[in-house]
Amino acid sequence: MRGRGSIVGGLIVELSCPEHGLERFTVKVIRRFNISPEEIIPKFRTKPEYDLSGIIVGREVNTKEVQKYLENYLREKGIWERVLSIKLV
């Protein structure tokens, strides 16, 4: 599976922040073999605030699908306009 569109450890999202200038956070990508091969499940942290900390993916999910999922999540939260870049880690 490591090859075309293989998934790496995570994604770094850089946002423009009116208060701090630049804000970065990492979203971990966790591959699981005990879920449906095409499934993508969000993983949330609860403290200090409720937010996305990782994305759990099945074995057939590629990097483009994960990036599209993250893009849609950021659009739903209303912060997509502030995104400067999304980099693979």
User: Residue 4: which pLDDT band, with cuts at 50, 70 and 90?
Assistant: very low
pTM (two decimals) = 0.83
What pLDDT digit, counting tens, does each position of 27-73 carry? 999 999 899 999 999 999 988 888 899 999 999 999 999 999 999 99
What value does the mean pLDDT take over residues 11-15? 94
Could you tell me which residues come within 8 angstroms of residue 25 by beta carbon, excluding any fewer than 6 positions away? 12, 13, 15
Residue 29 burial (CB count, 10 A)? 22
SS (H, E, C) 13-56: EEEEECCCEEEEEEEEEEECCCCCCCCEEEEEECCCCCEEEEEE
Q: Is residue 9 predicted with pLDDT exceeding 70?
A: yes
Residue with tokens 């996305």, as numbered in its chain: 52
